[in-house]
Structures are given as structure tokens and as C-alpha cells.
Chain A
């Protein structure tokens, strides 16, 4: 059994994500099989592109139910990019029912700015979190997106980023964490997030004092 399972529903090249976990010494499996996802000890839910076709692909593959099963069971879950947006109820990108894991809406970035928002930007954390253990406030991460998630529950917003609008760049609730940016493309700081997730959320090691 792999240490962590990466959900493949055809939304982008997932090898970067897999390689990042492998580099940290973990066995990461890319799968499109709902049973494997439902039984996984931990899940990475990545994605790029638009919400409507992504939900369509998840539903057709039977992955939506598998994701609910694992989340209901409290499986540690790491959403990335579209993998954060799909946790909302709805998206301005089109008429589609998203996963409704976190109440909220996915909105379009202001049109006045360069879109997509692509490149390095900093993340302001609102509180401490094991995944951000030993990661300095205002660290830079790599973004590529034209839409952003807006959780209705402010308590689910762990970190924010400014790009014309101040948006939720990290959401967290229980053993779920999701980032709008790509940790696997964010240099040493990004790799540290995956490492922290494995240590302190998945393997439940004690978080050291800073």
C-alpha cells in the first residue's frame, strides 16, 4: 500500500506531484481507481483547468463517491489548485455542482489584472497550522489560476494572498488542507509543506516547538 494516493481524473500532468513525494522518501501512487482512493491512507487531490469538465470527469469515473467516503472517514486530504476550488459548492466558471466539502463559491479573478495569475506570490497565514510548521510568514509560492475559492466559513481560511483581490490561498479544516498554489512547483518551501503534511497530519508525529 502506498503512503499517499494521487487522484487522477485527467486534469493535468501529475508526475511532478508524485516526484515531490518520492523525493521526500514516500511511496506515492497515481490512480484513477475509486476503490484505491476510498481506501487510501492519505490523498492528494490535484488538478488544473476548468471546474465543469473536471466535475464531469470525477462523476463519470466514480471518484466523487470515493472522495466523500475517504473524507467522511477522516482520511488526510491535500487539495491543490483546482483541487481547492472543487471543494466549494458552486463555480462562476459554469453551471456545475461541485463537491460541497467546504461551503462556498469559486469566483473569477478581477479582469483588470494579468490573467492567469501566474508566478510567485506570498501567503499570509492567519493562524498556525502543522502543514506550515517552520515555514515563515509571507513565504512565496507559485500560482497558476484564473479563479479562486471563497469559503463561506471564514474559519476555513488558513492563508490569504493579494492579487487585485485578497483571496483564500490556503483552506483547512480538520485533516483537510488545500492550497490554491502548487507546492510541487514552489521550491524548498513547497516541498516542506508536503513533508509537514506527511509527518504531522498523515503520520501524526508531534509537531516540534519552534
Chain B
């Protein structure tokens, strides 16, 4: 299972939000490049970068910061937040990002997903499915839809999507525990569709990683637990990441 450390960017700084609430922000570091370098040197297989300003606005204000991270570290970048046009997706690949996560764009614009996969390949286009109470949330988690998770998975798989990032917003940044039942049902549904799932939200110790691995998650994104020191990334990678 890939243990993937996350860097959430807001105003150029590394922050965490509680439950995706823009008013409940903690700033952890001023220099995202140094943070990313630390993750890569610990052996992280991917570094997950979210542009929180982009997620809300629909543009990618942190493109230059991302470029500097890509150039500075020996690990591939997974990027999400604000990717709502093929041009923006092309721009983020041009700077050397490995794969992108489409959230709102995928829900609102299936044709974009189709075009992005046709152009860049299914292994480079990941769809992020963020939920609150079993329903899909969009626009930086500010808006709530009435779409069921299973329906989104099915529709996206039809478009050629083969990898999902599944986030339970109510657990994100809370350091409680992942919603294991929800992850398990998403993994099961995705597996039937020939897709894999990266779980996100709520991880706060190594035991949580063990359960997610048992459930069959391809990967897990970890944020707050690393920043608060609840989880040691190097130790987690030794236990559940591949040895590299």
C-alpha cells in the first residue's frame, strides 16, 4: 500500500483545514519545498499536493510553487485543486507533475474527464470523490450535492477512470480514525469496476494503516497525523510503504 504524505497549500504556505472548513486553518510550515523534500527523503512513493486556493477558485495559483517542488524532490507529485479545464491540466503536466486528481471538474464536466484521459492516459488522471454523509461534495467542499458515491464511481469508470481518491470530509484533519466501513464499500464497488482506491481522511496511527491495507486500499493519503507528530512517516513507510 502506498503511504502518501499530503501538502495542502494556501497562500503559499503549508496548512491543514479541519473538515475542509476554510475558517478552521492551522499553518504548519512556510516553506512547502522543504516539507516536500523531507517527505521524498523519507522514501514517500508520491507527494500529494492540494492547492486549496485553486480548489475554491477554479484556477491554480500555486503553479510556480508546484514547479519548484517538482524540480527539487526525487519523488513524483500527485496534484489536485482547481483543475477544471484541459488547459490547466496540460499546464500542470508540463511542469512535470506525475498524475492529477480531478474533483469538482469530474462531477460537473464528464467530457473533461474523457478528454483528459484520451490525451494523458488513465494512469495519469485520478478522480477524487469527496463525501459528507454518503453524498458527494464539490467546490472545495463548500457545496453539497445529492449525488451518491456509487453512482459517481460507475459513471467515472464508464469514462475510463481507473483510480479514485476517496475522502470522507467529516474525518479529514480530525485525527480520529478513517471511516473504515465507507472505505470498504467504496473499495468493493471500485474493484468491481476494475479500479483502485486511495483512501484519505482520518488516519492518525499505524494501526489505521494496517486496517486500510487489509481492506484493500491501493494507497492512503496522510496529512495532519504527520504534521502533529501522531504518525512518523518514515516508520509508516517502513511498515506499509514499499521498500525503496
Contacts and interface: CB of A to CB of B under 8 A. Distances in A.
A161 to B, nearest CB: 14
B43 A116 contact: no
Interface residues of B, number: 26
A161 B93 CA distance: 25
B121 interface: yes
A15 interface: yes
Contacts of B70: 13, 16
Interface stretch (A2-10, A66-74, A185-193): A185-193
A118 B123 contact: yes
A16 B123 contact: no
A140 B76 contact: no
Given A13-B71, A16-B71, A118 B242 contact: no
A206 B20 CA distance: 55
Interface of B is mostly: loop
A173 interface: no
A59 B94 CA distance: 24
Contacts, number: 72
Interface string B40-58: 1101110000000000000
B106 interface: no
A115 B242 contact: no
Interface string B65-102: 00100111011100000000000000000111011000
Given A140-B244, A189-B244, A20 B123 contact: no
A165 to B, nearest CB: 16
B244 A186 contact: yes
Interface residues of A, number: 29
Contacts of B121: 114-116, 118, 146
Interface in A126-181: 136, 139-142, 144, 146
24 contacts: A12-B96, A13-B70, A13-B94, A13-B95, A13-B96, A19-B71, A114-B122, A114-B123, A114-B162, A115-B121, A115-B122, A117-B123, A118-B98, A118-B99, A118-B121, A118-B123, A139-B244, A140-B242, A141-B244, A142-B75, A185-B98, A187-B40, A187-B44, A190-B74
Interface of B: 2, 40-41, 43-45, 67, 70-72, 74-76, 94-96, 98-99, 121-124, 162, 242-244
